[in-house]
Amino acid sequence: MPSRRLDASFHSVSKFDCVGEDSADENARGFVRHVGLFADDRENVSSGDVVNVAHMGPPLENPGRMPVHVAGSAALTSDEMGRVERFLAELELERDAQKIRSTWAVAEYVVRPHVRDAVSKRGRKRFRRFSCAGLVIEAYKDAGLNFIETDEAKLPNVDLDRILETYPELEGRSRPLLSRLGLEGEGPWPVVLPGYVFHALDRSPEAIRDQPPYVPSRGDEFFPRRT
């Protein structure tokens, strides 16, 4: 089913569909600030319901909890759902093996690119860091669905004000910490925002699988796009 904005009625949402949370800013109505993978057993969901999700909160939580206002589905097959399940289990094993104890910004989270390996001083891969959008994109990619373009050369640039709308936790953070998260310099930066996911899923399941990855454009941070 194409992506849709939820309302007060009941909407069918399936396991590992993508669900999004809107900004609380009334001046940014329709701006999607967070995305996760639906992990609840229930199917009927209304706008504003707080549901179980697998998401990069941060930290990585499976399950975690988030309110939802928009949903998108690729109509995952049972095999694809199993592969997403295994992907999430592998991430839990990575975290357990590394005994992650440091702060969310340093340990697990990254804004740009959408996924990055954390490496040891010897250059060995320790675990994967994600943005919230990066987690769902890589989970679907591991299941064989390369549905959205993430090449930075093809992404719109995003300025700091929009970044802070998406990641309010970064307000007032030091420049070195922003650089650790991939936001070097003054910006703007080619960042994969949560809203892009829902535009990429706003196609038939056949198109999601058979057509080239969706290329985000300016305005896709809102769903539906503002005119």
Average pLDDT for residues 105-127, to the nearest whole number?
82
Domain-embedded: residue 201: yes
Domain-embedded: residue 185: yes
Range of the domain at 13: 4-210
Domain-embedded: residue 219: no
Q: What is the pLDDT of residues 41-94, one digit of tens each?
A: 777 999 999 999 999 988 899 999 999 999 999 999 999 999 999 999 999 888
Please tell me the distance from the alpha carbon of residue 129 to that of residue 111, in angstroms, as a whole number: 9
Please tell me the distance from the alpha carbon of residue 110 to that of residue 81, in angstroms, as a whole number: 25
Domain-embedded: residue 22: yes
206-211 long-range contacts (CB < 8 A, ≥24 apart) are 208/74, 208/145, 208/147, 209/74, 209/145, 209/147
CB 36 within 8 A of CB 45: no
Mean residue pLDDT of the chain comes to 91
Domain-embedded: residue 195: yes
Domain-embedded: residue 139: yes
Please tell me the distance from the alpha carbon of residue 155 to that of residue 163, in angstroms, as a whole number: 14
Number of domains in the chain: 1
pLDDT of amino acid 227:
64
Domain-embedded: residue 10: yes
Domain-embedded: residue 157: yes
